[in-house]
Structure 1
């Protein structure tokens, strides 16, 4: 989702991982934005965490605006991140 030659985000509205990812209980919601940023909501707290993200293959790295870093992996249409399992917004198991 970023330009490999610079750290400037490159909009990519067609990237397969752009969009909303949600835990099965709906408590954690990651919105991966096409400009290389993310916005995470937790429960009733919208925008609990925001920052930059970069996808390389099936791996994602997060750099929160507060300095926190994390990573995750996409496998079989599911995002595994920091012990959490997130599903595409439209494919959350009920």
Structure 2
């Protein structure tokens, strides 16, 4: 499944973008929220907002740049986010 970014050419998501939302590791230790503003907020264990920054999506590829300048990337495949050696699943609403 190849999903386009938004109507904008800058790769920033829109509020209805299908990848926005909470992504979590299977054990729930890492919680990665992709916000519709093009920002992300990552929690690790009990440490909320351990990492924050911007992200851009092009097709199934995602690029990250945290607020310290560190960069990383990932890929969405079959409803799973593969990012920096982690496997994250979309959190389903309770």
Global fold match (TM > 0.5): yes
Structure 2 residue aligned with 1:38: 40
- Describe the SS at the equivalent of 1:70: strand
CA distance in 1 between counterparts of 2:56 and 2:30 reads: 19
Runs of 5+ consecutive residues of structure 1 not aligned to the other structure: none
Structure 2 residue aligned with 1:4: 9
CA distance in 2 between counterparts of 1:25 and 1:68 reads: 25
TM-score by length of 2: 0.86
- Shift of residue 61, structure 1, vs aligned partner: 0.2
Provide the aligned length of Structure 1 versus Structure 2.
88
Match of 1:29 among 22, 28, 31: 31
- Shift of residue 13, structure 1, vs aligned partner: 1.3
Root-mean-square deviation (CA), in Å?
A: 1.9
After superposition, what is the alpha-carbon deviation per residue over 1:16-38, rounded to whole angstroms, capped at 9, x for unaligned?
00000000000001000001000
- Shift of residue 14, structure 1, vs aligned partner: 0.7
CA distance in 2 between counterparts of 1:88 and 1:72 reads: 14
Runs of 4+ in 1 over 3 A off after TM superposition: none
TM-score by length of 1: 0.86
CA distance in 2 between counterparts of 1:62 and 1:70 reads: 5
